[in-house]
A and B are shown apart, each in its own frame.
Chain A
């Protein structure tokens, strides 16, 4: 029996836990976010990291940044999976997928979109003209930096405020992929092979239908390309992710600390 006897500024836990050590040793640990703190914690301790990376270059930089932090903790880059989120709307053809997307877009409440952008900007935007682009003067708003990216999208695409409000509610700043199985697989493959991601958490617009569509259309395409497993490798989540079962902390205290194998 190894009581924990944890003492720190914030926590005092005597232990031991009144449950036998679980099958995985301890559960797979995932850190979510994109902040400095999250990056550092993930690099040091996590098995995987969930993050929102809406654009390709940003995702690549983020990937290199986090993996680059691991060496100082005695870890190799393949001991942490970086798994950004991606919304997928698919259909048998690009046309069918875009049509499906349009039904969701048409259902968006414009006023919700305006309120949502107002919330991010911490300013009331409801009086701005809807059919013109957002005024550049908004960039002067002190809290507006959070929406710098949105402003840039607006400028580059020439979107009006109305279009932008709908667009933002539609995508919520996540990776957003609409298309046939080939189109979706192409994009996931591009991100994966460019080392912008080790995999993806796929979001669907509707459950369970959206996941069923991903599974019947997109996954076979990824499997054909040899990019995704056709069978589970083992029984536990660690086995299926190819992660080692962690040793008992008490054993680690006895031996000299070393990196996981």
Chain B
């Protein structure tokens, strides 16, 4: 008799939550938001999924701040904590045993050799638990962070030289990661320098004192 077909189940892990208003909940404290960039936070999610025998934990990825092309929208958005997936999954590998570690890597701005090395390394480090979600990055906000591609001419960010300091300036690393950078034409980096929610919505006032 044929075995009963069974479901594949994966768990998304994504910062504070997948709901657009998670960061605005009264019960979500600044401390909890801050914790969303710690390894502990992501390990708790991955281990919870593993306790449920879920097949994999999945990290989506963007190469720009979400809504970066829409200053008004960005100013009312959660800071979308997003650590680089291969780095994070490699850190989760020794903290988990069986669960698959799946992350997105965009092919648009990556060389095949780099992608192959990252994935082969994760597969070795995790004992064969790596998965690659193949995505492209065709949005203008991502293009503006790489100084290349079809949006080259339309972006002021791309005038920065591709040398390291120029590059990091273009990404906003050396500049600002708080709400003040969100209207900057040079783009904002999607990993916080310090854990400060990026928004100017009404409810953000409670964090304003913490801005850099």
Contacts and interface: CB of A to CB of B under 8 A. Distances in A.
B7 A199 contact: yes
Interface in A214-261: 214-216, 219, 222, 226-232, 235-241
B124 A22 contact: yes
Interface string A18-55: 11111110111111110000000100001010100000
Contacts of B15: 207
Interface stretch (A56-64, A109-117, A128-136, A155-163): A109-117
A178 to B, nearest CB: 11
Interface stretch (A91-99, A100-108, A145-153): A100-108
Interface stretch (B97-105, B174-182, B188-196): B97-105
A202 B17 CA distance: 12
Contacts of B122: 27
B95 interface: no
Interface size on A, as a range, is 35 or more
Given A81-B8, A199-B8, A200-B7, A237 B131 contact: yes
A200 B100 CA distance: 14
B128 A198 contact: no
B48 A23 contact: no
A103 B25 contact: yes
A201 B18 CA distance: 12
Contacts, number: 231
A125 interface: no
Interface size on B, as a range, is 35 or more
B7 A192 contact: yes
Given A17-B117, A198-B7, A199-B9, A207 B45 contact: yes
Contact of A24 (B14, B26, B113, B130): B130
Interface in B102-134: 102, 104, 111-113, 116-117, 119-124, 127-134
B53 A211 contact: no
**Chief secondary structure at chain A's binding surface:** mixed
B116 A104 contact: no
Nearest to B49: A211
**B19, B51, B55 — which one has the most chain A CB atoms within 10 A of its CB?**
B19
A192 B48 CA distance: 23
Interface of B: 4-22, 24-28, 36, 41, 44-45, 48-49, 51-56, 58, 67, 70, 72-73, 76-77, 98, 100-102, 104, 111-113, 116-117, 119-124, 127-135, 201-203
